[in-house]
Chains A and B, each alone.
Chain A
Amino acid sequence: MALLEVRDLSVVFQRKGEEPFAAVDGISFDVSPGQMVGLVGESGCGKSVTSLAIMGLLPQRGVRVEGTVEFEGKDLLRLSDRELADRRGRDLGMVFQDPLSSVNPVIPIGVQVSEVLERHEGLRRREAALRSAELLDRVGIPDPSRRLKEYPHQLSGGMRQRALIAMALACKPRLLIADEPTTALDVTIQAQILSLLSELVRDTGTALIMITHDLGVVAGMCDEVNVLYGGRIVERAGRHELFAEPRHPYTAGLLASIPRLDAPRGDRLTPIRGSVADNIPWAGGCAFAPRCPNAVDACVERSPEMTRDGERLLRCHNPVGRPAPSEEVPVQ
């Protein structure tokens, strides 16, 4: 059984006097226990909104969330605030993008780690502090008992992200969502944080949803990759299949824009032309069509359905390589 089953998740932002905008438009995916799943796409494709919707962290006003998010059989979207808060930090952990702004500047690091333990495991302050020191040590922060008393500004960006990981994993959650956890860090630190993350989730058997715009990040760690565009999943495949043979022109474009060390010298990177601002609404065809090198007439006439090709899911009228598989996937 899947640990997390997301079905037809939609998030519509509705501001007074403005057209409603679907940041997430009917997304479905599963995460099995211990599995590492990637959500990949450019800024604005809906990947962060998806994660916030799963965690129940979206603002309550002006936002409509539809579909179901079943975690161990319970729909998180139907839980009361109280029940959801009981699960956050205990069953579901989250690591955020910017370690600078995601920790509270006026509270010692130690308190910010131990408050999770006090909340969910009923630990007293002293026990929680001891456990926090162990946790900081586990995430590779040297001299943890001294660091506990320090404030965020006394820690480097990488250290802060390690501390945030310690907070998110303190109660050994069964699912961890990492939302661009390395974007704000130096390249050298990025690799360290990623290997720390995958090591930790493997050790604790935690399932991971890795959200990133960087296919290179998911290449190293995710079992399955979902490529998002305009709030919908446009392609899903196992890591190896996706990298060996990208079928959606958007996936192919993302791969072509990654710098490679083995490319001949002087080869230019191939960017995807245009930007998400060029999107057309899915109702009128494929949102990616205005930017797509493979676009055909069908692409601006009707929106492509999700189709299945073996283990791969694809939403495209004219995919790269072979013609589109014919079998439609009803649920998706």
Chain B
Amino acid sequence: MLRYTVRRLGQLMLVVLALSVLLFAWLRALPGGPVSALLGDRATPESEAALRADLGLDQPIFLQYWRFVARALTGDFGTSTGVQRGTPALDVFLQRFPATLELAVLAILIAIAVGIPLGYLAARRRGRLLDNLSITWSLVGIAVPVFFLAFLLKWIFAVQLGWLPASGRQTGGIDATRVTGFYVLDGLLTQEWDAALDAFVHLLLPAIALSTIPFAVIFRITRAAVLDVLDEDYVRTARSKGLAGAVIRRRHVLRNAMLPVVTTIGLQTGALLSGAVLTERVFNIPGLGQALALGFERKDFPVLQVVILASAMTYVLVNLLVDLSYAAIDPRIRTR
């Protein structure tokens, strides 16, 4: 198990390394390169040459890469040129990261909490009403674009009914102490319950919108996996022993069926970030998705670099956790 973990961590390093090369190459490959990106219309041959020397772009490419890595390792990704002009790119990321993480975690929790039980029940009632309804619902969840659903939810529950707030992370002017930047967590830590609740309520609509695709996929995979496992010979063996239905379901069916589901949950974290770009837009949440969208609009490469590198690392890390929990569920992986 330890060797497995170490090996997987080694793979993580490789991914980060490969990604740094890609990000580095991407900047150099831009039409006109970073210089014209930075200077834009104001570029003159003189100013370009000056900036080129200033940025070290006149030096050999390997040296440039080495400087890029060395600075990245110290957390220096340069200064934001568009999203929050003048702020270090890393700080822009750190300020926005909690908002997105909060949103993504709640979204995936909703997707898991609804998707797995529903998938399980649908499999056990295959072909009946609940099954057909859930399948239809999950199809709609996949087919309706996230931004449209987000608008729809906002319009119904925030604008028309007024049940939930329409935008932002917390009601303006609320008395809240900042500790971690995670608003719900901050409220709990400082025992400012109303602030925590207020932040949570702000999260609900965007998290529901963001959860639809992961929910639909988790639901489908759970349903299919449970159906597969119910047909397995070892489930018949378990029944031949006279075990109680609950024991068979918990011990013999669910555990085996969770293997593909856990993998799916890991893969869906990727979908969460792309979904967050749209959801944060609609609900005006100052998170990474918004930074990504703004960064592309305003050609803010330092910020884009940090956000992309960090999201890729998060994705790889989450999938490492998934693989580790996979090994915890399946002894065949552990002892290989």
Contact = CB atoms under 8 A, between A and B. Distances in A.
Contact of B236 (A57, A93, A105, A120): A57
B133 interface: no
Contacts of A94: 237, 240
Contact of A105 (B244, B251, B330): B330
A89 B240 contact: yes
A247 B336 CA distance: 54
B3 interface: no
Contacts of A93: 240
Contacts of B236: 57, 96, 102
Contact of A116 (B241, B252, B330, B331): B241
Contacts of B178: none
A96 B240 CA distance: 10
Contacts of B239: 57, 85, 88
A55 B236 CA distance: 10
B262 to A, nearest CB: 12
Contacts of A88: 239-242
A13 B236 CA distance: 19
B242 A89 contact: yes
Give the one of B241, B251, B335 with max A CB within 10 A.
Answer: B241
Given A101-B233, A115-B251, A167-B237, A106 B242 contact: no
A105 B240 contact: no
B242 A103 contact: no
A98 B256 CA distance: 18
Nearest to B234: A104
Contacts of B255: 106-107
B329 interface: yes
B251 A96 contact: no
B241 A102 contact: no
A119 B233 contact: no
B241 A119 contact: yes
A89 B243 contact: yes
A85 B242 CA distance: 4
B327 to A, nearest CB: 11
A153 interface: yes
A89 B244 CA distance: 11
A106 B256 contact: yes
A119 B238 CA distance: 11
A104 B252 contact: yes
Contacts of A55: 240
A103 B240 contact: no
Given A115-B247, A115-B251, A102 B234 contact: yes
Contacts of A57: 236, 239-240
Given A101-B233, A104-B234, A119 B242 contact: yes
Interface in A82-101: 84-90, 93-94, 96, 98, 101
A116 B237 CA distance: 11
A4 interface: no
B42 interface: no
* Size category, B interface: 20 to 34
A89 B241 CA distance: 4
A151 B95 CA distance: 47
Contacts of A151: 331-332, 335
Interface in B265-288: none
Contact of A103 (B237, B244, B329, B330): B237
Interface in B226-260: 232-234, 236-245, 247, 251-252, 255-256
Nearest to A87: B242
Contacts of A98: 233
A264 B241 CA distance: 47
Given A107-B251, A151-B331, A151-B332, A102 B243 contact: no
B329 A106 contact: yes
A251 to B, nearest CB: 30
A14 interface: no
A204 interface: no
Nearest to B259: A106
A275 interface: no
Contacts of B241: 88-89, 115-116, 119, 167-168
Contacts of A111: 251
Contact of B232 (A86, A101, A168): A101
Nearest to B251: A107
B269 to A, nearest CB: 24
A294 interface: no
Contacts of B240: 55, 57, 88-89, 93-94, 96, 168
A107 B250 CA distance: 12
Contacts of B242: 84-90, 116, 119-120
Contacts of A90: 242
A103 to B, nearest CB: 6
A154 interface: yes
B273 to A, nearest CB: 32
A98 B237 CA distance: 11
Given A101-B232, A104-B256, A105-B256, 19 more contacts: A55-B240, A57-B236, A85-B243, A86-B242, A89-B240, A89-B242, A93-B240, A96-B240, A102-B233, A102-B236, A103-B237, A106-B255, A106-B331, A108-B331, A115-B241, A119-B243, A119-B247, A151-B331, A167-B241
30 contacts: A55-B240, A84-B242, A85-B239, A87-B242, A88-B240, A89-B240, A94-B240, A98-B233, A101-B232, A102-B236, A103-B234, A104-B238, A104-B251, A104-B256, A105-B332, A106-B255, A106-B256, A106-B329, A107-B255, A108-B331, A111-B251, A115-B241, A119-B241, A119-B247, A120-B242, A151-B331, A151-B332, A153-B331, A154-B335, A167-B237
Q: What 5 A-B pairs are tightest by C-beta distance, nearest first?
A: A89-B242, A88-B242, A89-B241, A101-B233, A151-B331
